[in-house]
A = this chain, B = another copy of it.
Amino acid sequence: MREIKVSLVGFGNVGRATAKVLIEKGRLFEERYGIRINVISISDTSGTVWLPEGIDLREALLVKENFGRLSAWTNDYEVYELTPEEAVREVDSEIVVDVTNDREAWTWHLRALKEGKGIVTSNKPPLAYHYRELISEAEKRELPYLFEATVMAGTPIVGLLRENLLGDEVQRIEAVLNATTTFILTQMERGLSFEEALAKAQKLGIAERDPSGDVLGIDAGYKATILHCLAFHPITYEEIKVRGIAEVTEGEIERAKTKGKTIRLVARIEKGNVVVEPAEIPKESPLAVESHENAAVIKTDLLGELIIKGAGAGLKETASGVVSDVIKAALRLV
């Protein structure tokens, strides 16, 4: 049995879902992969809990869920005031897992790589703005830098493009990559106004209190940028065109319906050209997804069209991608 030491940075919804999977399935992973995943530090915005022997994840969840912050933990554990940059430098882990929304996380991703640590991330902006630097630093140091959960939650489109189809050239990807906009558009098809649909999404926890990331297409844009980096060459979010769904009218929804079509926020990704915008989709198209499903149609020179479709949101669905990457990173590092 080989032990791998992990720092978990971020203990919000995705971080806690990841911890739950590690609690429930840790034993199974030991049997299946011969690897014990030992979380030795957890950081949230209140501080960093760090225990070199490993943290009891059940207790960490209890503290967080009862008190809302890790710094409330006072019995056996030391809570340190460390920035993420300090944490990745000081904590002796082998893999750093970023499940934050920190837009500037790329700085401490780079720091972690320079310290010889692998990275697993569900956090999109580092890749959407700094793909080239991060991947080349990781390659130079032969360290894993894995990001399955950044696009389509755990549905393995990143693994598919990054580690498979090695003889194919991708010609085009068309994809629906944001579930919140799908929910809002579906509700509008049922007669709600944009504002009503958005309010419903917020009430159900599908949209955030500040919904701009989803509604303006930024989230889908980040993901489309990452897919372009994988399929073609590194670009940044600034180089793509994005129009969200805020201006989609009830009239447009109706017109699409009468033509047997449906409007979805579609990303079209070609070499050097990425456009994210609302588009009419035939009802029978694989992109006419419902609920929290995402879908991508990947066209390549040898294979033709390949469709991958699955969960694009959800906590355990996102944790699926994070945990798969942690295991993958661990298997490469042992």
A223-258 near B? 1/0 per residue, CB < 8 Å: 000000000000000000000000000000000000
In chain B, what residue has the closest Cβ to A158?
Answer: B164
The answer, yes or no, to whether A308 is at the interface (CB within 8 Å) is yes
The answer, yes or no, to whether A334 is at the interface (CB within 8 Å) is no
How far is A314 from B324 in the complex, measured between Cα atoms in Å? 32
Q: What is the count of identical protomers in the complex?
A: 2
Q: Which residues of B contact A148 (CB under 8 A)?
A: 164
Binds B, one of A85-93, A108-116, A179-187, A299-307: A299-307
**Quick one: which of A142-168 are within 8 Å of B by CB?**
148, 153-156, 159-160, 163-168
Q: Which residues of B contact A317 (CB under 8 A)?
A: 302-304
The answer, yes or no, to whether A328 is at the interface (CB within 8 Å) is yes
Chain A: residues with Cβ within 8 Å of the partner, total of 42
CB-CB under 8 A for A303 and B286, given A159-B160, A160-B156, A166-B327 = no
Closest chain-B Cβ to A226's Cβ sits at a distance in Å of: 16
**Cβ B159 vs Cβ A303 within 8 A:** no
**Cβ A310 vs Cβ B320 within 8 A:** no
How far is A167 from B228 in the complex, measured between Cα atoms in Å? 26
**Cβ A155 vs Cβ B306 within 8 A:** yes
How far is A317 from B300 in the complex, measured between Cα atoms in Å? 10
The answer, yes or no, to whether A209 is at the interface (CB within 8 Å) is no
Closest chain-B Cβ to A327's Cβ sits at a distance in Å of: 4
The answer, yes or no, to whether A72 is at the interface (CB within 8 Å) is no
5 smallest CB-CB distances across A and B, nearest first, come from A167-B323, A302-B320, A156-B164, A306-B310, A159-B164
A sample of 13 more A-B contacts (CB under 8 A), given A154-B168, A159-B160, A165-B320, is A28-B169, A29-B167, A159-B163, A160-B160, A160-B164, A164-B324, A166-B323, A166-B324, A167-B324, A305-B311, A307-B310, A308-B309, A309-B309
Query: What are 15 A-to-B residue pairs whose CB atoms are below 8 Å?
Result: A21-B302, A25-B167, A33-B166, A154-B168, A156-B164, A156-B306, A163-B163, A163-B164, A166-B328, A167-B326, A168-B324, A302-B317, A302-B320, A306-B310, A308-B309
